[in-house]
Amino acid sequence: MERLLMGLPTRPAAALALVACCVLLVSPACSTRGDEGFAIYLTRDNIAPAQMDALSRVEIAEQPVISTKDIVAYEAATHEMTLTKDSFERLVSLDVPVSGKSFVVCVDRQSIYWGAFWTPISSLAFEGVTIWKPLGIQGSTVVQLELGYPDASFYREEDPRNAPEVLSALEHAGKLKSTAPAASEGALPHAMKGYELYSWLEGDHWHFTLIIGTNRNKTAEEVLSHVDVVSPDGWAHIHAVGVNEIQAVLGNLPPGENVAWLSGLRAEDGGTGIMLPPQSIIDAVAGHAAECDLNLYVEPH
């Protein structure tokens, strides 16, 4: 729960109000299709973005404005969606006022976060997630889930776009594209709270996830995901198989970076399979981390 509450786009002054309301952001009566996957809905009553913060319950439209079948590809690093021609033309004809048009990003009709379609001719700023309305057909059918308007400097909350439910649904549908980071020192961003490293055994191979450290607890779905994401706005989630791969990933971190190798999840009790590997593997990874001038902390068993 905490992960979703912290990730919703909001004005700083309204943060407490959102904690109270976002659980009921979408009416349970609307959540009738449990296998729909990723979709973006307009609000049923055309609720303005300026009013979304104050509401305890929002009902979504009967049909999505963008569904999984409308998406040709979703780029995990940039949150760019390549749409089919028909769905792109639908956005071109969408009526978006200069004050924006609210949407809700859902997985199986369950709300993950909300934002607003915005027109690039607007002079009004917005502090949430946006999709800029296309002004016409110009050869490309790409739209992007962006932070803030007119640019990301207007967005100051935690980025909700990397929610594991969203990425997992897109991956399951075969729509997700992920670009691996360049294999060079410092290719991964510096993290103010350092990085977290998790490990688990699948079959005969040890798997690893290196992920940006945050105040919130990680979920099993998020940690165990095989999707690689390195976004320009500073988010990173890298999956590796075997000692050589995780050593290469650690080599992409900036020298002096802090990495905490955790023996389990904070928010769940067992059953996930997340654990530390044998001491020989720990020593090999720790030795490479020291060569890369990283500060690796290994949580005791």
- Cα 54 to Cα 19, 31, 58, 184, 234, distances in angstroms: 11, 22, 10, 46, 30
Per-residue pLDDT band for 25 (boundaries 50, 70, 90) equals: low
Per-residue pLDDT band for 109 (boundaries 50, 70, 90) equals: very high
Residue 218 backbone dihedrals phi, psi, to 5 degrees: -85, 150
Report which listed range, 113-117, 161-165, 167-171, 275-279, is most confident: 113-117
Q: How far apart are CA 301 and CA 285, in angstroms?
A: 16
Q: Domain boundaries in the chain?
A: 2-172, 181-298
Contact criterion met (CB below 8 Å) for 221 and 257: no
What local confidence, expressed as pLDDT, does residue 182 receive?
47
Q: How far apart are CA 28 and CA 60, in angstroms?
A: 10
Place of tokens 């350092």: 194
pLDDT value at 23 more than 60: no
What local confidence, expressed as pLDDT, does residue 156 receive?
77
DSSP state of 78: T
Give percent above pLDDT 90 in the chain: 47
Do strands 110-118 and 126-132 pair parallel, antiparallel, or not at all (unpaired)? parallel
With H, G, I as helix, E, B as strand and everything else as coil, classify residue 220.
helix
Whole-model pTM over 0.85: no
Q: Which residues contact 283 (CB under 8 A, 6 or more apart)?
A: none
Apex CA 260: angle with CA 254 and CA 266, to 5°?
140
Neighbouring C-beta atoms of residue 102, cutoff 10 Å: 23
Question: Tens digits of per-residue pLDDT, 226-271?
Answer: 888 887 777 888 998 888 889 989 999 999 999 999 988 876 655 5
Lowest mean pLDDT, pick from 55-59, 141-145, 238-242? 55-59
pLDDT value at 202 more than 90: no
- Cα 56 to Cα 53, 61, 103, 114, 155, distances in angstroms: 8, 17, 16, 13, 22
Report which listed range, 217-221, 258-262, 280-284, is most confident: 258-262
